[in-house]
A and B are shown apart, each in its own frame.
Chain A
């Protein structure tokens, strides 16, 4: 919302030399957020009124004229201009060098410089209204029409801002910061707040009394939805322009002046925050009734939209049918037309949530509805009426009030709240005297009665429509008037018990840091929804997935049940720039199953787990290298992150995996995830061109963090321990797991451990075989082994491997 400072000053005696930055700051700190303070006059810097002394043809251009213009300086200036309405003696707006204008009201602003136009020197620019941002206030009637300021009797050289009285300051308020303060939606309300903040006198709009002189009546059929309705029937009005000063104010806060009748209603709304409306009385049959619409009732609105209403909509109707959508928009039938001479002025109050429902139902939010939906207090009709009638009388001296009716059927109850002063002091963290508290509240319009520890507070009407309803609201008012930033704040106290020890939270962080720092992977974030292309490629089908009813895009509706589709998309996107990289993501995944809620018996939430997934993508390294790297990352993860270890088994092949290169990850007997090579078909469908992609994904909620570190101390070996490498030929299909199992049986003796060194297939190895190099760790706890004893221990392992797996010693 934009507010005009000069308008605010109509209602509060703000000193002329008030520091506006401080005002904006104080309003921001205590009431509403002021987003911008604009000095309106700055828009018209280097623009002055010029008087045309001569208009001559341009020697080189038919459409241009060379004008001699008096700018109030010693010598008149020559200015080239293409305007069609140039006349000697005319007052015009001249942009002199340094002014910022928009050519023909379009495009980027440009700075005026002295220049030559078609060979003739031109000092500045004679402007059309839209070229200097006045198009809405002083619209031109045709193309290339120069703004004619002859009606303003000012000397040549007068700055435009002075001539048109535009030296105002505009405050832009963040609407979000005042949704709870319906009383502030108008200049009068903001003035009242400023008066309270600075203890300044208010210039009140006093209610007026109008005598009903005829049988004019208004009927309200739903007083809950329409607590108050004032109708005023008036003769002797006409459609004409409103005074420039009124138009100017309406324009500077962002609306468009139309004609005097409409301008008065808009002006009153902008001033008081209470919308008003004028009907053409000649088009109203019988009397005005405020009622619910009939189901399917038709209404043609002012803006040409035809609505089929429903029973929840409130309408203003006459004897024939609905003539306006109450509090939202007038109808076409009764609108103000050029021939209008009699009007019915509506100054009414409507209930907020009903207005909101209707405005949203027809996607028709207006200046009026956006104010009513904040909950305007019905007492404000008094100010709106008084201000409206003052303007009508001023602009139409012939005016006669032929009918008046004020139906105030549902009186507003002022909110009454009891507040314990002890409680207040405790919550404020500060003791204020009773007088201080009373003063802070009374200046805001509250009535305060203190009896012992109890303070009985009655809120003003304009704060009683929901804004102030509990004692915390009263405390906020006191705190606000004291200034939040003025409280010396005392720190919270702490107790030294119950140290924070959250194993599951720490574990996930440890894993992320392990992957990032030890494994060299980069963490990524992707959205919870997936692109259909990647869902189809990676997941094959969508069974058990949840989807959004209004997704960001039609192809982004599925919610992830796995992190891998988005992981593959990320690989695809990065392939353009990188050919060897590793990424991981930890996030929530969802499945359409196991609905439950531990919080509320009636609530039912789907299964939600947190997964962690990673990908290594490389165009340079072999599947074997990548697989061993990824498996190493996993196998050593428990050790560095303090959780129970993993085992790897081939149990259920993941749908996305290559037919050979995959394993399932287990903790104990629980399968927690998968590891594998993404099948070529899948990567191709994902648009991954050259990269080999290894991934893992696991459910972090199934991991088992250790209670504490479980490292154990082992005595250092007293006698030497020897590494002894053996290379043997096995059937190509023999697995390391099988080899390791055979050796493990011998480990009780001097063979302490066996490790995989490498395996080799190819030249020098018979077809169908592979050579495996195994590192045996051999030693004794009792003595130093002789080389014969070491040989014997190794020989015994080799014998077992030959016996159980048919291994042969590799002969060079």
Chain B
């Protein structure tokens, strides 16, 4: 009998180990310790066993039964952990479903990135209207009456408002700087603000020229500031926006509304300064003209240029975005073409 118990026990162990699901496990249970199970039947034979062996055999039988029962329970828990609600051929490699397909315009994204950077340094964001007068577009910015820029920035004048004195002539703003004068006129110094907006030039368009494009001005006006402090500011801003340390350089430049004027170039982010077609193989990209506001501009804003001075930059947003993503045609920005716009998340 002892042998029989042993063989039932080893068979049971093997079957339990094999059982792949709960049904098979249940079958093992009834086959061995169920009412007609092999071990149960053996137990029923116990009275026929020699009396001297009976206690030992009884003990062995019970131990075997308990052992099998435990093994089945353990196996059942194990099977439950492995079980799935779905068939095993469920394909987890199918792609996920895209959430709703929306996004901000890449220029808005760049503008917000800059806003965040400047706001983190205590700048206000200013916004002004698109239609302005010649007085604010040119006069207040130290453009002499016959200055070439009045014509070279071929301006969109408004019908019925395109002649007369400069306060009567209205146009779509050719640049943002006139708006900065409006800000200074209506706020108390010191100033620290940025001014994003769209500007307009009446010119022929091609891949690099647009009639409507975006500028981003930053202006600081305060007492006792040095004209080179802006370089640190611009470096911090660009490094925050681009996420890496962006080398910048500052060189001499000229614009009527600044004195002194400069150009700030940033290292080309497409080639890392090695030289490529985007930066015309010089490694640097001209991204922002700037300077100290000309004393006449400060005067136009009602400030005493002997007391106040400033730092000004004008960032070309379109160009910055084109470089950020390698966009090769500026006209795409106003195309409203979703095939283009949906590329920017």
Contacts and interface: CB of A to CB of B under 8 A. Distances in A.
Interface in A567-619: 569-570, 573-574, 577-578, 581-583, 587-588, 590, 597-600, 602-606, 608, 610
Given A485-B250, A606-B131, A525 B107 contact: yes
Interface string B42-71: 000000000000000000000000000000
A547 B159 contact: yes
Interface string A502-524: 10010001001101111111111
A409 B103 CA distance: 67
A515 B105 CA distance: 12
A344 B337 CA distance: 63
A180 B135 CA distance: 22
B251 to A, nearest CB: 4
A524 B336 contact: yes
B259 A523 contact: no
B334 A525 contact: yes
B182 A505 contact: no
B172 interface: yes
Among the interface residues A177, A548, A559, which one has the most CB atoms of the partner chain B within 10 A? A548
A566 B103 CA distance: 19
Nearest to A26: B251
B312 interface: no
B205 to A, nearest CB: 8
A577 B337 CA distance: 9
Interface stretch (A249-257, A471-479, A709-717, A767-775): A471-479
Nearest to B200: A528
Contact of A549 (B146, B159, B261): B159
Contacts of A476: 252, 259-261
B342 A522 contact: yes
Given A521-B102, A573-B337, A502 B125 contact: yes
Given A526-B334, A570-B336, A353 B260 contact: no
A599 B182 contact: yes
A505 B338 contact: no
Contact of B131 (A487, A489, A515, A608): A608
A500 B220 CA distance: 15
A35 B186 CA distance: 41
Main secondary structure of the interface of B (DSSP, over half): mixed
Interface string B130-174: 111101100000001110100100001111101000011010100
A489 B232 contact: yes
A429 B259 contact: no
Interface string A542-564: 00001111111000010100000
Interface string A461-498: 00000000010110110011000110111111011000
A31 B251 CA distance: 8
B229 A30 contact: no
Nearest to A548: B156
Contact of A429 (B105, B226, B339): B226
Interface string A234-259: 00000000000000000000000000
Given A491-B229, A505-B125, A547-B158, A526 B336 contact: yes
A485 B249 contact: yes
A28 interface: yes
Given A427-B309, A476-B260, A509-B112, A490 B148 contact: no
Contact of B157 (A177, A430, A550): A550
B287 to A, nearest CB: 14
A88 interface: no
B254 interface: yes
A598 B186 contact: yes
Nearest to A501: B124
A597 B222 CA distance: 26
A517 B109 CA distance: 13
B212 A516 contact: no
Nearest to B149: A179
Contacts of B115: 509
A204 B175 CA distance: 43
A31 B252 contact: yes
A449 B280 CA distance: 45
Nearest to B106: A523
Among the interface residues B129, B167, B233, B309, which one has the most CB atoms of the partner chain A within 10 A? B129
A430 B229 CA distance: 11
Contact of B211 (A177, A527, A581): A527
Given A479-B260, A500-B122, A548-B157, A485 B251 contact: yes
A29 B265 CA distance: 10
B262 interface: yes
Contact of A492 (B103, B225, B337): B225
A356 interface: yes
A116 interface: no
B216 interface: no
B88 interface: no
A583 B151 CA distance: 37
Contact of B168 (A180, A357, A570, A604): A604
A314 B334 CA distance: 46
Nearest to B234: A489
Given A356-B146, A599-B186, A429 B229 contact: yes
A473 B309 contact: no
Nearest to B284: A28
B127 interface: yes
A428 interface: yes
B226 A427 contact: yes
Interface string A619-635: 00000000000000000
Contacts of B14: none
B9 interface: no
Given A520-B102, A526-B334, A600-B135, A490 B232 contact: yes
Contacts of A566: 336
A519 B259 CA distance: 47
Nearest to A469: B259
Contacts of B233: 491-492
Nearest to B181: A599
20 contacts: A33-B251, A179-B254, A353-B144, A357-B146, A475-B260, A490-B229, A491-B236, A509-B115, A516-B102, A522-B342, A523-B104, A523-B341, A524-B105, A524-B336, A525-B334, A546-B131, A549-B158, A581-B338, A597-B133, A602-B135
Which 9 A/B pairs are nearest by Cβ-Cβ distance? A520-B100, A429-B226, A476-B260, A570-B336, A489-B228, A520-B102, A524-B336, A472-B259, A487-B228
Interface of B: 99-105, 107-108, 112, 115, 119, 121-125, 127, 129-133, 135-136, 144-146, 148, 151, 156-160, 162, 167-168, 170, 172, 182, 185-186, 198, 200, 202, 211-212, 220, 222, 224-233, 236, 249-254, 259-263, 280, 292, 294-295, 306, 309, 311, 333-339, 341-342
